[in-house]
Chain A
Amino acid sequence: MYRSLKRWWWLFTGPTIAAFIIGFVAPFALGVYLSFTKFTTVTKSRWVGLDNYARLLSDDTFLHSLWYTAAFALVTTVVINVVAFAVAYMLVKKFKGSNLYRSVFFMPNLIGGIVLGYVWLLLLNGILGHWARSITYSATYGFWGLVILVCWQQIGYMMVIYIAGLQSIPGELIESAEVDGATPRQTLRSVIIPLVMPSITVCTFLTITNGFKLFDQNLALTNGAPSRQSELLALNIYNTFYGRTGFEGVGQAKAVIFLIIVAAISLLQNRFARSKEA
């Protein structure tokens, strides 16, 4: 059996490898290659070296959206994880209807980003209308509008992961902490949180990368208005690629930088959080 596997492995892994190359490796390599070229359609490009990266440095909108996105990812990561954990902590207690609450909290995830953006656009504009304002009035409005929307959407999802983490803690541990005279706060800090660390790792990873990659909601809610001031990175790249003639390569270069940033941050976060796991 082992010998035939050794001989025939390529036949078995071949389809997967082929699919992987066609679906992942090729577009990725093409994307990186295109960031060094000038092109209008992706099939007709001309090598220009580091030109696109040089032009990118003088683009103020890119730097602005970089900071804007970093702030956004930070705020949403903190808010989503704290609230999701709190909700999960409450909903693992046995009480009537706790399952119903779980479903209700999870539900926003079932709605697509664009639709969600438009629905929240109506809601937020309706409220801001009292002060004769709308969400695109300034970048600050857009920022908090996006934070509210994304929190509303993702808290339920992270909650599910935290519930799974909390339920896997053996009941005896909590009981023995109680017997030893620990206050609920001490139990939470010294017993529960260290034990759900794997869930925290996963959830912070998901929220950070989601924060950086956010696109649909941004597009539907503010579309970068006013003055491209509420533009997150992904939307900035999209607008550069499609919105500006002759800037397709620059957009591609931004995408490569974007990839490096997101990859670096998630690797660091993962290493840091794992080191805390029990």
Chain B
Amino acid sequence: MATRKTAKLAAGLMAGALLFGVTACSGSSDDSADATGKVYYLNFKPEQADDWVALAKAYTEETGVQVDVQTAASGTYETTLKSEMAKSEAPTLFQVNGPVGLQTWKDYAADLSDTEVYAQLNDQSIALTNDDGNPVAIPYVMETYGIIYNKAILEDYIATDGAKITSADEITSFDTLKSVVEDIQAKKDDLGIDGAFTSAGFDSSSDWRFKTHLANIPLYYEYKADGIVGQPESIKGTYLDGFKNIFDLYISNSTTEPSLLSGKTIDDANSEFALGKAVFYQNGTWAYNDIKDQKVDDADMGMLPIYIGADGEENQGLTTGSENYWVVNSEASEADQKATKDFLNWVISSDTGRDTLTNTMGFVTPFKTFADYESSNPLVQADAAYTAAGKTAVTWNFTTMPSEEWKNTLGQAMLAYAQGTGDWDAVRATFVDNWATEVELSNQG
């Protein structure tokens, strides 16, 4: 009798232990309300992942505040952010990519008006505000894009018979650019290159250069002509002919057959430029890390504005703006929010932080505290040269594009046009008609 009871008891205990084990796994860990607070940064830029971890470690060593940095893999930021924000240990600091991105996360954006990062902005109007007009998203890096070019090959070209220009400075309009590009393409064998432009790849690693960055140029001119600020309900597509011109130039004077574009990646374009197989490459200052230390010397890298044949484009500079905004999670505990703001303050004011941002990460920042820090990136210097010459920088208006979906549809229509399976009317339709549709859809509910 006694043995049966013992066996029963043992079995009961074992089953109980199992049950306990299972429930313990699902238990939440809300007991970590640390008075000092801690920082959890979900970083957007994979190319700087290690740099942020090192920076966080330096801060922890200096102040004892715990800083965790996670980096989402390329192209998965929104996905990662969505699942991380649902956790009890959500990021205290994350990024949005502009007004449209902020719209998604506005319920999680804390007021930053009392922070140092806002106070130290060179131009406080570039911070994004919430419905009450309080700054909630602070850009921390200014970036520039245009047509990167290889000065050495361009000089070789200028030395050939019948060259259309005598100096790169003469390229100040679409017409000049077009005549130079077409001439280079015709002489590509003499110059020892595969084409004037790198491949306009439409793989998802590369298509943002066109559906977003290139599409910004006609948008910029339209906004300027119509005096538009913010996101319009609909657009007219006044400058789409210029958009077609520049895109035609890209796809018909490149290293690649247009029918192969759907599979070409950003790595293809990087290597074509870095190995000197193409002269022109539409990309931005961030591409420097991928193209440096190979065949093209830093001194041979220049950047041209993207011309589309609009009036007054002789004074057009490079395209400069930001889509990297810091947002502090308003759902995080008070202590964590404070710790996060202190961390940001340290990043932009300490020597370690400033040195890392400028020299290690190669950023141009919009803060006053960085006045004595100058970037060694030749593409950044090219931008500074244009600004010094009094050219007007083109602003980043693509942050007002209605949705990712709008960009994707446009990109795919452009690809269909490039490879000959679709026509330009479809591109125009996705650009203009789909704008209104997507604005309406995105603001629904």
- A positions within 8 Å CB-CB of B: 4, 8, 11-12, 14-15, 18-19, 22, 38, 40-44, 48, 51, 55, 121, 125, 129, 132-138, 223, 225-228, 242-246, 248
Contact = CB atoms under 8 A, between A and B. Distances in A.
Nearest to A138: B421
Given A11-B16, A132-B257, A225 B262 contact: yes
For the complex, would chain B's binding face be called helix, strand, loop or mixed by DSSP majority?
Answer: helix
Given A14-B15, A137-B259, A244 B403 contact: yes
Contact of A44 (B107, B263, B441): B107
A140 to B, nearest CB: 11
Q: Quick one: which of A42, A133, A245 has the most chain B CB within 10 A?
A: A245
Given A19-B22, A138-B421, 15 more contacts: A12-B15, A14-B15, A15-B15, A15-B21, A22-B22, A40-B82, A40-B107, A132-B257, A135-B262, A136-B263, A225-B202, A243-B404, A245-B101, A246-B104, A246-B441
A124 B25 CA distance: 45
Contacts of B16: 11
Contact of A135 (B101, B263, B408): B263
Interface centre among B12, B263, B421, B441 (most CB of A within 10 A): B263
B240 to A, nearest CB: 19
B78 interface: yes
Most chain B beta-carbon contacts within 10 A, residue among A15, A38, A129 = A15
Contacts of B259: 132-134, 137
17 contacts: A11-B16, A12-B15, A15-B15, A15-B21, A19-B22, A22-B22, A22-B25, A125-B263, A132-B260, A134-B262, A134-B263, A138-B421, A226-B262, A228-B412, A243-B408, A244-B403, A246-B442
B412 A40 contact: no
**Most A CB within 10 A of own CB, among B82, B413, B442:** B82
A236 B113 CA distance: 40
Nearest to A22: B26
B409 interface: yes
Contacts of B419: 137
B121 to A, nearest CB: 26
Contacts of A129: 260
Given A40-B82, A242-B82, A227 B412 contact: yes
Contacts of A22: 22, 25-26
A4 B23 CA distance: 25
Q: Which 9 A-B pairs have the closest CB atoms?
A: A134-B263, A227-B412, A136-B262, A15-B18, A41-B86, A11-B15, A41-B85, A242-B79, A245-B104
Contact of B412 (A125, A134, A225, A242): A225
Contacts of A38: 445
B405 interface: yes
A209 to B, nearest CB: 25
Interface string B204-236: 100000000000000000000000000000000
A244 B404 contact: yes
B137 interface: no
Nearest to B420: A137
B49 interface: no
A135 B18 CA distance: 51
A147 to B, nearest CB: 19
Among A132, A136, A223, max chain B CB count under 10 A is at A136
Given A227-B416, A242-B82, A40 B405 contact: no
- Give the interface centre of A44, A227, A243 by most chain B CB atoms within 10 Å: A227
Given A132-B257, A133-B259, A137-B421, A226 B412 contact: yes
A44 B330 CA distance: 14
B255 to A, nearest CB: 13
Given A41-B82, A41-B86, A11 B12 contact: yes
A223 B15 contact: no
Nearest to A244: B405
B445 A51 contact: yes
Contacts of B415: 225-227
Contact of B8 (A4, A55, A125): A4
A43 B86 CA distance: 6
B427 to A, nearest CB: 12
A55 B445 CA distance: 11
Contacts of A243: 78, 404-405, 408
B6 to A, nearest CB: 13
Given A8-B8, A223-B204, A242-B79, A15 B19 contact: yes
A44 B149 CA distance: 48
Contact of B103 (A4, A42, A136, A245): A245
Contacts of A18: 19, 22-23
B424 interface: no
Nearest to B12: A11
Given A136-B262, A226-B416, A48 B79 contact: no
Contacts of A226: 262, 412, 415-416, 421
